[in-house]
Amino acid sequence: MTRIKICGLSREEDIANVNEAGPDYCGFIIQVPRSRRNVSPERAAELSIRLDGRITPVGVFVNAPAELPARLAREGIIRMIQLHGQEDEDYIQRLRCLTDVPVIQAFSVASREDVRRAKDSSADYVLFDQGAGGTGKTFDWGLIGSMDRPFILAGGLTLENLTEAVKRVRPWCVDVSSGVETEGYKDQEKIKAAVAAVRRMEE
């Protein structure tokens, strides 16, 4: 069964929309100023408390001090940590000492070597993306090959290619951000359609 994560929530409307659609996970991009979906830790807390308890909140971080995601996890604001920067194995082990929530490590895929590095990661899950995330661009899915560990597929997933992605790549989870937006904002109907498309694959 493939799961689905809606990433980059920043408004109360976004929370209401995912609560209605019912994805497995949602993502808050926390303290990443270069992202237009950036929220402060305080804003993430305000949004997370409104989230349906069946949806797992994921904090997305880029080279943040390990103490920040660990603190938000301890406070129950997030229940998974996603690393989208240059965090290394030492960083992951530091997180392990600070919190026991699952860790996702993102890898930008340009070659099979990137996939090989992901296979060696000590994170609980790895995520394959085209680049920095939220760019709306895909990468060559054929580079993934066979994976003997759960992985998340991201990068340019839209209503037009989501079903094909699940059928071809068989990811543990798909991560959708710009693909469920209209004019830069999360779109209620697109979120519902994306979740429904993934759920249909289970039938």
Dump pLDDT digits (tens) for 149-170: 999 999 999 999 999 999 999 9
Active-site residue, selected from the candidate residues 7, 14, 26, 175: 7
The pLDDT mean for the chain works out to: 95
Dump pLDDT digits (tens) for 8-48: 999 999 999 999 999 999 999 999 999 999 999 999 999 99
Dump pLDDT digits (tens) for 69-98: 999 999 999 999 999 999 999 999 999 999
Cα torsion 43, 36, 73, 69: sign:
negative
Contact 10, 30 (CB under 8 A): no
7 catalytic residue (yes or no): yes
pLDDT of residue 130: 84
Active-site residue, selected from the candidate residues 88, 100, 120, 129: 129
What domains, with CATH codes, occur in the chain?
Answer: 3-200 (3.20.20.70)
173 catalytic residue (yes or no): no
Q: How confident is the model at residue 131 (pLDDT cuts 50, 70, 90)?
A: low
> By mean pLDDT, which of 42-51, 96-105, 108-117, 188-197 is the weakest?
108-117
